[in-house]
Amino acid sequence: MNSKITLKDYKKAFVSKRKQAKQELHQWINSTFIILLSLICSLFVYYVWTLNSNATAWYNIRDLEREKNQLLLEKEFIKTKLGQLETISTIQNDSSLFEDMQKIEESNYLVIETDKQYVYQN
């Protein structure tokens, strides 16, 4: 054998078409595998991201519902307190309301009947 031909050069010089096609097939399979694996990984990351965003939204909704319930309870408490303050006995017992009021000397009453039509004239 010639000492100038190395094993490396020997492999390059005698590559059959069948072996070359087999190598191309392996390269295609490897590249397809890598592409599919990256696609599956990206879909998994998207799925996890979607789950996380939904969980965050539900957490915010739950907090808002709690705040709504608390405000409704506070509204009912205020309505109850307002009802107590507007009762006749509370108004009559509060002397500060009557300080600026004057007694009615002559009272005129307006009676409205449902079956009659009224016209206001100057």
pLDDT of residue 3: 59
Q: pTM for the full model?
A: 0.43
**Amino acid identity, residue 90?**
T
Count of domains observed in the chain: 1
What rounded mean pLDDT belongs to the chain? Answer: 83
- Domain membership of residue 81 (yes or no) is yes
**Cα–Cα distance, 32 to 37 (Å, whole number):** 8
Q: Report yes or no: 104 and 98 within 8 Å, Cβ to Cβ.
A: no
Phi, psi of 86 (to 5 degrees): -90, 5
With a cut of 80, say whether residue 46 has pLDDT above it: yes
Instruction: Give the DSSP H or E segment for 37.
Output: helix 17-85
The residue segments making up the domain with residue 55 are: 16-86
- Domain membership of residue 46 (yes or no) is yes
With a cut of 60, say whether residue 6 has pLDDT above it: no
**Amino acid identity, residue 80?**
T
